[in-house]
Every structure is written in C-alpha cells, then in structure tokens.
C-alpha cells in the first residue's frame, strides 16, 4: 500500500518515478504443481554446464529441480529427481559420495525420514535414502566437514532432538549423534555451520523456536553446548527464529549472526530480527539497534553485497501476521549495510510486485551477466524471480 501511494503521488505531481534495481521476471517461471509449498531453495550447478540451477524443497509435493538456461529462464526438470511427495523442509547440496558432482540431502518434518539423492554427473538423481534411516522430525539440514577428514557430514536439526551423520565415503553415513552431540533441547528450525570461535573448525548455530544455541566443535567433530552467556538473549522478550544466518556484518573477518524472527507459532515471541556481533572468540554482542526496528514475520535472510561497496547487505523475506489468512504475503526487503546501520531501501530497489509468502531467498545469476539476481521460494503462493538491472 505504501509503495502504491508513493507511486500515485509521483504521478499526480509529475515527479519522475524511481526505476527499481530489480525487474520482476516471475511470470517466466515454470508453473508449480499441487499446493505449491516451496520451503527452501539451493542454487547449484547440478548438471555440470556451468549455469546456475535451482533445487527446491517442497512440502507435500515432490521436490523440484529447475535447470537454468543462462538467459534468465528455467525449465522444469523435476522428473530427474525421485518423485515421492513428502514433508520436505530444507535441502543441502554437496558432493556427498566423492565422485565430483553435487548430490542432495533433504530434511523431512512430519515424515520423520530424510532423503538422499545421488547425482549421476549429468543432473539425474537416484534415491539412496535407505542409507540414512533415522526417525527424527527435522526442519533443517547442513552438509559440512565436522571432523576434518575431507568427507562431508550431515547435521539434521530436529523438533525434539537433532542428529549427526558422519560421512564414511562413497555416499555412506553412520549415525554418531549420541557420541558427538550434546543432549539438549531441540525445536530447531535452521542450522548454519561456520567457525564461530576462531579455532579453525566448523561450529554450529541453531535457530530454535524459543531459545537459540551454539554447538562448539573441539576440532574432532565432538560438539559441546556453548555457555549461555556467549549468546545474549533478546531484551524485548523470547524469539522464535526461523533462519540463523552467519555472515561478516562489520568487516572484521569473523562470523556474525543474523536471526530472522517471527511470532507465527509462539504467541509470546517478539518478531524483531536480531543482529549479534562476534568478538572473534565466539562471544556475541547484541547490535540489533543497527537494524530497522520493525516487528514483522521474517522467515529467511540472505547476505550479499548488492551495492558493490565491499560490505555485506541483507535481503529478508517473510509472511504476514496470519499465515492462514486471506493474504499472507509479506514483503521482500533489502537492507543496505551502511557500516553503523542497515538502511531499508526496498521501495527504491524493488518493484511493487516484490511480495510473496516468502520462506527462503537465494542469490542466482540467472542470465550470467555477473550481477546476482534473487529467487524467493513461496509457500502456498508464487515463487519470485527478481532480475537485477
């Protein structure tokens, strides 16, 4: 409404309307089948043609594979994936069997069973899910090398308990959750891996429904829960985090944290996104005052340098206050990193149609012009493809 009012005011006064930095090219995307619940998107070249493709986790529909043509278009090649319709929540893409191409692991929530798709090198996948058999209600997955043996491992963030599957090579995994993970509260909605304490090995940050956590790696893939004081709780009240993003917000070379927060399922939560700055040793200071003070349901975030100044900016997507309402679409927002603060420039940078039931956002060079475009995964509504001018 605000964007529309600004546009009308410019028309009435004769003022020149600003030209958005992105064009809405969503009409050219392949039509989604079924319920159209896109939950997560990963950008990867799965068929080896050096063009960005899209792997999309679908809730209650078969997962999707969109192959890029390098000219801004995508074709639906979902028939290259196993066609089971499950409660897929998130995907991780990595060379899981060591043959030089990219495979896919998928976290499933209500189905309780993860998926493992192995690539034949040409972007066609076979179902190897029987290699990861555990009954965990998982919303998140990440592929990373926990123990430094140069084989990818898989962490699944669960509703009640999480699990860690250690890579044994050739696409085989072994459940070592009990031996390697702390026995702590679950409720995990997202997980990110990165070196938080500066010791050279990957730690884990868990975005949870009511209190976020950090698992510190001892260098051998054994994880311990970080002391509560290293991750300050929000002063405004509890947070329901849907995305835990690691990025260098202040340019000092260490991993800072952005939490995309909602109050969709926890009525006591405060839907204010948070920014936490790392001291280089894994202790964080709350710098949320650098963000716009806006309480809306942010589901996912992306860190990317959009204006070319060397600082990482933020793109956030989300939904309206009532996800089950008549129009639960939420805005796509662009927050430019000005150093001491993040400035919302969405109304100038984006077209008025940049709204979606946004559950994920990723950067993709759809037309291979060297400028990053944006793909927004929409749950129960349309996906967005925003092409950079």
Q: Each residue of 179-226: pLDDT tens digit?
A: 999 987 778 999 999 999 999 999 999 999 989 999 999 999 999 999
105 contacts 138 by C-beta, under 8 angstroms: no
Tell me the pLDDT band of 115, cut-offs 50, 70 and 90. Answer: very high
Distance CA 275, CA 344 (A): 15
The gap from C-alpha 358 to its chain's centroid, in whole angstroms, comes to 11
Q: Is the pLDDT of residue 293 over 60?
A: yes
Distance CA 375, CA 368 (A): 15
**Type and span of the H or E element at 117:** strand 115-119
Higher-confidence residue: 291 or 113?
A: 291
Distance CA 132, CA 239 (A): 32
Residue corresponding to tokens 């690539």? 119
25 contacts 44 by C-beta, under 8 angstroms: no
Distance CA 343, CA 320 (A): 21
Distance CA 315, CA 294 (A): 14
The gap from C-alpha 271 to its chain's centroid, in whole angstroms, comes to 18
The residues pairing with 318 across neighbouring beta strands, listed in sequence order, are: 298
The residues pairing with 91 across neighbouring beta strands, listed in sequence order, are: 106
What is the per-residue pLDDT for 227?
A: 94
CATH 3.40.710.10 fits 22-388, yes or no: no
What is the per-residue pLDDT for 320?
A: 85
Give the DSSP letter of residue 290. G
Q: Which pair of tokens denotes residue 284?
A: 């964080």
In this structure, of 51-60, 131-140, 248-257, 291-300, the range with the lowest mean pLDDT score is: 131-140
Distance CA 379, CA 69 (A): 25
Q: Is the pLDDT of residue 11 over 50?
A: no
Q: What is the DSSP string of 148-201?
A: SSSS-EEEEEESS--EEEEEEETTEEEE-HHHHS------EEEEEEE-SSSSSS
Distance CA 267, CA 263 (A): 6
Classify 374 as helix, strand or coil. strand
| Mean pLDDT confidence for 274-284 | 97
Domain boundaries, the chain: 22-388
Q: Is the pLDDT of residue 9 over 70?
A: no
> pLDDT tens digits, residue range 309-361?
999 999 999 998 766 666 789 999 999 999 999 999 999 999 999 999 999 99
Classify 232 as helix, strand or coil. coil
Classify 77 as helix, strand or coil. coil
């Amino acid at each position: 409404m605000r964007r529309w009012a600004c546009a009308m005011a410019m028309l009435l006064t004769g003022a020149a309307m600003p030209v958005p930095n992105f064009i809405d090219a969503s009409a050219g995307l392949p039509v989604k089948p079924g319920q159209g619940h896109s939950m997560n998107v990963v950008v990867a070249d799965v068929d080896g043609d050096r063009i960005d493709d899209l792997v999309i986790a679908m809730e209650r529909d078969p997962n999707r594979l969109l192959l890029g043509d390098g000219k801004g278009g995508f074709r639906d090649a979902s028939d290259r994936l196993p066609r089971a319709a499950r409660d897929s929540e998130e995907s991780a893409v990595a060379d899981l069997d060591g043959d030089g191409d990219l495979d896919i692991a998928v976290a499933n929530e209500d189905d309780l069973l993860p998926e493992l798709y192995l690539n034949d090198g040409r972007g066609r996948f076979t179902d190897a899910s029987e290699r990861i058999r555990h009954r965990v209600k998982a919303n998140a997955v990440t592929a990373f090398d926990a123990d430094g043996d140069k084989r990818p491992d898989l962490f699944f963030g669960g509703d009640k308990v999480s699990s860690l599957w250690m890579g044994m090579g050739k696409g085989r995994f072994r459940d070592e959750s009990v031996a390697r993970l702390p026995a702590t509260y679950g409720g995990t909605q997202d997980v990110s891996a990165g070196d938080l304490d500066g010791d050279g090995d990957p730690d884990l940050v868990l975005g949870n429904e009511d209190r976020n956590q950090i698992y510190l790696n001892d260098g051998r893939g054994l994880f311990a829960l970080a002391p509560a004081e290293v991750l300050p709780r929000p002063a405004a009240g509890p947070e329901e985090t849907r995305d835990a993003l690691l990025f260098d917000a202040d340019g000092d070379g260490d991993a800072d944290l952005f939490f995309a927060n909602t109050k969709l399922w926890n009525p006591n939560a405060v839907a204010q996104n948070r920014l936490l700055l790392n001291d280089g040793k894994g202790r964080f200071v709350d710098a949320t005052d650098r963000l716009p003070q806006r309480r809306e349901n942010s589901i996912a975030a992306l860190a990317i340098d959009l204006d070319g100044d060397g600082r990482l900016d933020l793109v956030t997507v989300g939904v309206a206050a009532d996800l089950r309402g008549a129009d639960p679409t939420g805005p796509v927002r662009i927050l430019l990193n000005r150093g001491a603060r993040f400035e919302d420039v969405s109304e100038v940078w984006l077209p008025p149609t940049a709204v979606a039931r946004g559950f994920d956002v990723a950067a993709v060079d759809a037309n291979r012009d060297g400028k990053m475009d944006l793909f927004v995964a929409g749950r129960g509504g349309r996906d967005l493809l925003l092409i950079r001018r």
